C-alpha cells in the first residue's frame, strides 16, 4: 500500500458575508465544528455585547478609544463602520493561524471583504449568502425575538444595502435550505484548497515524480 501524500499549501482566507438573518452564522458554526483545518477570525468591535455573547469568543469587545488606538497602531487587517459601530479584524490572530497551517474564516461585511482582498488578493475567497426573499429575511429576523420593530426596520434597510454589494464576491449563494447552502459552502472551500497555486508543495512533488523515472527527459 502506498503512503498518503500530504503537501503544504497556502491558507485560504475564507470570507462569508450576508445580511444578518440570511443564515451565515449557522453555516459558519457548522463549518467550524466539522472542519478542524479552518478557524474563525475573532473581530474587535465597539458594539456592546448581546446577551450570551462572550468576550474573546464571539468578539473582542473594546471601547472606542482602544479601537482607535489599535487602528492607529496598524493592528487591523481591515476595519469598518457597521451599524454605527466599529468592527475590525485583528491581524495577529490571522497571521498565527496561517503560520500554523490553518485556513481562516471571516464573518465580515462587504467593506471588510473589499479591504481584505486589497491586502491579500488571491489568498482571499469571498462568498456571499443571499436570503431567498426579503419577506423570509424579515421573518427570520423577527423569529429571533431579540430586536425591537425599530431595530428590525433598520436591519432590513441595512440588509438591502449589504445585498447591493453582491457583485464584489467570488461566489453568491441563495440560502433557501440551510443544509444545502452549507453543502455548497463546503464544496467551495474544498475546491479552493485544491487550487494549484495554493499547493506550494506541488512543485517539488511533481519534480520528484518526474525524476523518479530514469532518463525521463532523454526519452522524449
Instruction: Tell me how far apart the alpha carbons of residues 9 and 197 are, in angstroms, rounded to a whole number.
Output: 8
Instruction: Tell me how far apart the alpha carbons of residues 72 and 146 are, in angstroms, rounded to a whole number.
Output: 34
108 lines the binding site for ligand 5GP (CB under 6 A): yes
Q: How far is the CB of 84 from ligand 5GP (least distance, A)?
A: 10
List 20, 28, 46, 175, residue binding ligand 5GP (CB under 6 A) = 20
DSSP 169: S
87 lines the binding site for ligand 5GP (CB under 6 A): yes
Instruction: Tell me how far apart the alpha carbons of residues 109 and 156 are, in angstroms, rounded to a whole number.
Output: 15
List 88, 104, 127, 185, residue binding ligand 5GP (CB under 6 A) = 88
**C-alpha dihedral sign at 129, 130, 136, 142:** positive
Nearer to ligand 5GP, 9 or 17 (CB): 17
Give the CA diameter of the chain.
Answer: 76
107 lines the binding site for ligand 5GP (CB under 6 A): yes
Parallel, antiparallel, or unpaired: how do β-strands 85-90 and 103-106 relate? Answer: unpaired
Instruction: Tell me how far apart the alpha carbons of residues 166 and 130 are, in angstroms, rounded to a whole number.
Output: 8
131 lines the binding site for ligand 5GP (CB under 6 A): no
Dihedral of CA atoms 132, 134, 136, 141 in degrees, nearest 10, equals: 130
Nearer to ligand 5GP, 43 or 175 (CB): 43
Q: For residue 215, what are the contacts with CB-CB under 8 A and spacing of at least 6? A: none
Q: How far is the CB of 168 from ligand 5GP (least distance, A)?
A: 13
Q: How far is the CB of 29 from ligand 5GP (least distance, A)?
A: 13
140 lines the binding site for ligand 5GP (CB under 6 A): no
**Range in contact with ligand 5GP (rule: CB under 6 A) among 30-38, 84-92, 168-176, 197-205:** 84-92
Nearer to ligand 5GP, 79 or 182 (CB): 79
List 22, 27, 82, 181, residue binding ligand 5GP (CB under 6 A) = 82
Three cell numbers, residue 207: 519534480
Instruction: Tell me how far apart the alpha carbons of residues 137 and 144 are, in angstroms, rounded to a whole number.
Output: 11
With CB under 6 A, what is the number of residues at the site for ligand 5GP? 16
Give the footprint of ligand 5GP on this chain (CB under 6 A).
17, 20, 43, 47, 78, 80, 82-83, 87-89, 107-109, 111-112
Amino acid at each position: 500500500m502506498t503512503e498518503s501524500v500530504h503537501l503544504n499549501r497556502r491558507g485560504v482566507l475564507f470570507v462569508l458575508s450576508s445580511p444578518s438573518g440570511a443564515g451565515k452564522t449557522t453555516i459558519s458554526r457548522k463549518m467550524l465544528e466539522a472542519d478542524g483545518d479552518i478557524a474563525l477570525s475573532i473581530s474587535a468591535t465597539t458594539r456592546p455585547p448581546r446577551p450570551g455573547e462572550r468576550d474573546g469568543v464571539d468578539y473582542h469587545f473594546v471601547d472606542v478609544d482602544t479601537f482607535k488606538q489599535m487602528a492607529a497602531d496598524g493592528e487591523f487587517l481591515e476595519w469598518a463602520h457597521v451599524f454605527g459601530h466599529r468592527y475590525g479584524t485583528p491581524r495577529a490572530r490571522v497571521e498565527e493561524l496561517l503560520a500554523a497551517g490553518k485556513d481562516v474564516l471571516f464573518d465580515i461585511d462587504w467593506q471588510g471583504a473589499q479591504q481584505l482582498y486589497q491586502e491579500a488578493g488571491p489568498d482571499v475567497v469571498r462568498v456571499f449568502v443571499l436570503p431567498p426573499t426579503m419577506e423570509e429575511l424579515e421573518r427570520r429576523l423577527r423569529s429571533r425575538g431579540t430586536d425591537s420593530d425599530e431595530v428590525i426596520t433598520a436591519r432590513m434597510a441595512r440588509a438591502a444595502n449589504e445585498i447591493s454589494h453582491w457583485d464584489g464576491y467570488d461566489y453568491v449563494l441563495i440560502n433557501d435550505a440551510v443544509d444545502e447552502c452549507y453543502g455548497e459552502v463546503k464544496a467551495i472551500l474544498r475546491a479552493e484548497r485544491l487550487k494549484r497555486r495554493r499547493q506550494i508543495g506541488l512543485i517539488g512533488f511533481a519534480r520528484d515524480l518526474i525524476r523518479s523515472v530514469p532518463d525521463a527527459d532523454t526519452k522524449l
